């Protein structure tokens, strides 16, 4: 077999993995039309792999009678759609859609209750197969992960692109589900690429084409630009990434704070985040069980504040920061509620964790009595990029500065030297220990991994 070369015509066949030497539309060996060609194909090594309609695919695998039927995995008649198979999607069913709407769109859909344990098992199987390819596997969720295959060519005797194609083929054959691959030079575009041609996609976005490719895309393609932020941008007349590419960095920073930085760099296809193994599956958290069950803000908020400080102290000690704030509540009847919110940037500040927790807990104060409250952060990274100065929210900035001063005092005089308004003098029965009584950083798996 001739060595793979970076030539627009020299792709390979995703079915038989044979290298192609010419521009023919079908494989020279097996006749398959599933060919990959790209001028940077054998240079790129950062990939995002995402299983296709994962829960539904697992159900179809386990019950072949479902193969050609529209399948929805979700929480019964009153719940919402977790995953719809591609047949159901063609009929207009989408994730997170209320089930009654989904069944209006696709009345003959077969609805299956989620079996999370089973999906977690299959997810772990796929993940351990990924880990056999490279130690640099960064899971994002149960069915997707980033992989950095840089430097693995000698090990595999194949360039990353071919290793990935072979991997997908093996997953299909051995596990019985399909997945899509995005191959690029950075995380942002690897993730974008994996989504371009689902299911069974294999998309490549090279460095040379990135700015042009991005110019025509909507701002929502940028990581972290959700509906609300897209609406803000729209008000400012910004709809496409191309418009962002023409703006000055200072202007974006002034308008959107730390998010402006992200817009500036990602719009240009510049993303220097590395793939870090297993970071995302961990969290730093603190929780406390009450002597008597509590329901009101007056009781719960001071506890939330104290727990946020504890989490922050742990993060600071371990030199970590987290981007997703997770709130955990256990009701009187032992039901666990977790709510989470992803921040624009990783944080290690008690105040930011607390404010986010406050926002999350607000919706849960409906008279329900709780026996346990916990707060934590996941999506961990080094503290280096945490809490960039917020140019928009002056109050948040002031609080961050104050927190730095409080930390310094605590270092000097111990944890009880300074108490904030929320925790001061509360003497609460459910109150957790202060940061200085801590055993040190505790990193553990999130409460709910799915």
**Mapping DSSP to helix (H, G, I), strand (E, B) and coil, where does residue 258 land?**
helix
- Of residues 181 and 400, the one with the C-beta less far from Mg ion: 181
Stretch that binds Mg ion, among 110-118, 136-144, 145-153, 268-276 (CB under 5 A): 136-144
Shortest Å, Cβ 54 to Mg ion: 5
- Of residues 54 and 146, the one with the C-beta less far from Mg ion: 54
Q: Would you say how long the chain is, in residues?
A: 450
State the Cα–Cα distance between residues 412 and 406, nearest whole angstrom.
Answer: 10
- Of residues 175 and 406, the one with the C-beta less far from Mg ion: 175
143 known member of a binding site: yes
- Of residues 143 and 351, the one with the C-beta less far from Mg ion: 143
Strands (E), 194-351: 202-204, 283-294, 320-331, 336-347
Stretch that binds Mg ion, among 32-40, 143-151, 157-165, 342-350 (CB under 5 A): 143-151
Q: Name the β-bridge partners of 378.
A: 283, 324
DSSP 444: B
For Mg ion, what does the binding mask look like between residues 50 and 79, x meaning CB under 5 A? xx--x-------------------------
The binder of Mg ion chosen from 143, 148, 309, 403 (CB under 5 A): 143
- CA distances in angstroms from 101 to 39, 56, 70, 110, listed in the order given: 44, 18, 15, 14
State the Cα–Cα distance between residues 188 and 224, nearest whole angstrom.
Answer: 11
- Of residues 50 and 271, the one with the C-beta less far from Mg ion: 50
State the Cα–Cα distance between residues 41 and 212, nearest whole angstrom.
Answer: 18
Shortest Å, Cβ 381 to Mg ion: 23
Q: Determine whether 40 is an active site residue.
A: no
Residue partners of 302: CB distance under 8 A and separation at least 6: 422, 423, 426, 428, 431
Shortest Å, Cβ 143 to Mg ion: 4
- Of residues 172 and 248, the one with the C-beta less far from Mg ion: 172
- Of residues 142 and 320, the one with the C-beta less far from Mg ion: 142
Shortest Å, Cβ 95 to Mg ion: 10
Q: Name the β-bridge partners of 184.
A: 46
390 known member of a binding site: no
State the Cα–Cα distance between residues 20 and 107, nearest whole angstrom.
Answer: 45
Q: What angle do CA 345, 350, 351 make, to 5 degrees?
A: 80
DSSP 148: E
State the Cα–Cα distance between residues 414 and 103, nearest whole angstrom.
Answer: 59
Shortest Å, Cβ 131 to Mg ion: 18
List the catalytic residue out of 40, 59, 138, 144: 144
Shortest Å, Cβ 184 to Mg ion: 18
Spatial contact of 72 and 87, defined as CB atoms under 8 Å apart: no
Shortest Å, Cβ 96 to Mg ion: 14
Number of shown-chain residues binding Mg ion (CB under 5 A): 4
In 276-393, where does DSSP find H-type helix? 297-318, 350-362
Q: Which helix (H) or strand (E) holds 137?
A: strand 137-141
State the Cα–Cα distance between residues 393 and 371, nearest whole angstrom.
Answer: 35
Site for Mg ion in 21-50 (CB under 5 A): 50
DSSP 279: G
Q: What angle do CA 182, 183, 188 make, to 5 degrees?
A: 75
* 81 is a contact residue toward Mg ion (CB under 5 A): no
Known binding residues are 50, 143
Known binding residues for Mg(2+) are 50, 143
Residues taking part in catalysis: 144
Binding site for Mg ion (CB under 5 A): 50-51, 54, 143
């Amino acid at each position: 077999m001739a060595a793979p070369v970076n030539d627009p015509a020299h792709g390979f066949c995703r079915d038989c993995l044979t290298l192609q030497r010419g521009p023919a539309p079908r494989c020279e060996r097996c006749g398959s039309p599933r060919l990959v060609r790209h001028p940077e194909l054998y240079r790129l090594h950062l990939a995002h792999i995402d299983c296709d309609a994962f829960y539904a695919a697992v159900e179809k695998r386990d019950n072949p009678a479902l193969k050609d039927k529209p399948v929805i995995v979700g929480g019964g008649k009153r719940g919402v759609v977790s995953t719809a198979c591609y047949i159901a999607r063609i009929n207009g069913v989408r994730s997170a859609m209320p089930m009654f709407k989904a069944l209006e769109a696709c009345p003959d859909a077969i609805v299956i209750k989620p079996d999370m344990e089973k999906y977690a098992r299959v997810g772990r199987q796929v993940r351990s197969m990924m880990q056999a390819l490279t130690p640099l596997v960064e899971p994002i969720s149960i069915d997707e992960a980033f992989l950095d295959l840089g430097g693995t060519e000698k090990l595999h005797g194949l360039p990353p692109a071919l290793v990935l194609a072979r991997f997908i083929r093996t997953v299909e054959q051995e596990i019985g589900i399909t997945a899509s691959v995005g191959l690029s030079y950075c995380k942002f575009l690897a993730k974008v690429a994996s989504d371009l041609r689902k299911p069974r996609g294999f998309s490549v976005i090279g460095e040379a084409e990135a700015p042009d490719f991005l110019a025509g895309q909507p701002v929502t393609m940028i990581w972290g630009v959700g509906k609300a932020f897209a609406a803000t941008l729209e008000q400012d007349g910004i709809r496409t990434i191309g418009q962002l590419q023409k703006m000055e960095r200072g202007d974006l920073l002034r308008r959107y704070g730390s998010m402006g930085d992200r817009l500036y760099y990602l719009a240009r296809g510049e993303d220097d985040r590395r793939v870090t193994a297993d970071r995302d599956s961990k969290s730093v958290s603190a929780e406390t069980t009450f002597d008597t069950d509590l329901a009101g803000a007056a009781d719960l908020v001071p506890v939330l504040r104290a727990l946020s400080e504890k989490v922050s102290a742990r993060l600071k000690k371990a030199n970590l920061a987290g981007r997703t704030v997770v709130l955990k509540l256990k009701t009187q009847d032992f039901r666990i509620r977790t709510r989470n919110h992803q921040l624009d940037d990783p944080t290690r500040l008690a105040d930011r964790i607390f404010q986010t927790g406050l926002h999350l807990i607000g919706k849960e104060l409906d008279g329900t009595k709780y026996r346990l409250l916990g707060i934590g952060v996941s999506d961990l990274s080094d503290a280096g990029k945490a809490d960039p100065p917020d140019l928009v929210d002056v109050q948040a900035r002031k609080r961050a500065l104050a927190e730095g001063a409080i930390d310094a005092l605590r270092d000097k005089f111990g944890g009880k030297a300074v108490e904030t308004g929320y925790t001061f003098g509360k003497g609460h029965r459910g109150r957790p220990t202060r940061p200085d009584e801590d055993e040190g950083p505790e990193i553990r798996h999130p409460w709910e991994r799915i």
